[in-house]
Amino acid sequence: MLAILLALPLAYAAAAILLGLIPANAGWREAPDGITIFVSSNGVHTGIGMPVVTNEMDWRPHAPASHLGNPDYSATHIFIGYGHRDFYLNTPSWGQLSLATAADAAFGDGPALLHVEHIAGPSETKDVKAVRLTRDQYRRLVAHILPAFSRDGEGRTRPLLGRGYALNDVFYEAEGGFNAIYNCNEWTGRALRAAGVRMGLWTPTAQSVMWRLP
């Protein structure tokens, strides 16, 4: 039993490295013009930033500023991340992470939330990469992300009003579960693969997402 417990994280790490090295969309190149998105990382968690309004997509009906703690906040972009519900809502810092939450995130299939942050004028930094997509690639990205929002009987997204880290962000009920195989970074990687971006076959770590980007 001890050998199995020791082997599991090693096998997980080996699979993450191997599948991260094997690219999907190996021939992808950044578009010379089109729509610029952003991929952000805090070293553990990744998310995708997109313009609030383009000819291809208007995010305002799905994530309006009226859902924010400050409804007057004026943003040019929204950043969307996927995460474990209990972790998002009840673990404001790593020091407050409980064993039960960590175990459910790793071995369970707990419910997920989307975290949507409204940002004015994002720019590229060491933790945020700008990626230019063709308009068709951006439409494919949007088509992959939209179904992640859980909706009520009238087709509206389901915000957790008053729950966020600041006045310019809010959580939304999400479709699907969260586990060690399909976590926040694999959600990001899967969305980018769907858009046609070169990305590892499996991206469970923030590093496996970020290092493939231009």
pLDDT in tens, 103-158: 555 555 689 999 999 999 999 999 999 999 999 999 999 999 999 999 999 999 99
Please report the pLDDT score of residue 110 as a whole number: 80
Judged against a pLDDT cut of 90, whether residue 194 lies above it is answered with yes
Please report the pLDDT score of residue 144 as a whole number: 98
What are phi and psi for residue 97, nearest 5 degrees?
-70, 125
Instruction: Read off the pLDDT band of 63 (50, 70, 90).
Output: very high
Q: What is the per-residue DSSP string for 109-169?
A: -EEEEEEEEEESS---BTTEEEEEE-HHHHHHHHHHHGGGB-B-TTS-B-EETT-SSSTTE
Closest of 169, 156, 162, 164 to residue 73, by C-alpha: 169
Helices 184-195 and 135-145 meet at what angle, rounded to 10?
Answer: 140
* Cα separation, 172 vs 163, whole angstroms: 9
Helix or strand or coil: residue 187? helix
State the CB neighbour count (10 A cutoff) for residue 19. Answer: 17
Q: Which amino acid is at 181?
A: I
Q: What is the mean pLDDT of residues 190-213?
A: 97
pTM: 0.91
Between 126 and 3, whose confidence is greater?
126
Instruction: Read off the pLDDT band of 71 (50, 70, 90).
Output: very high
pLDDT digits over 171-189, tens only?
A: 999 999 999 999 999 999 9
Instruction: Read off the pLDDT band of 98 (50, 70, 90).
Output: low
Q: Decide: 208 and 20 in contact? Cβ < 8 Å.
A: yes
In angstroms, what CA-CA distances link 30 with 35, 196, 213?
11, 10, 9
CA torsion sign, 137 to 58 to 38 to 101?
A: negative
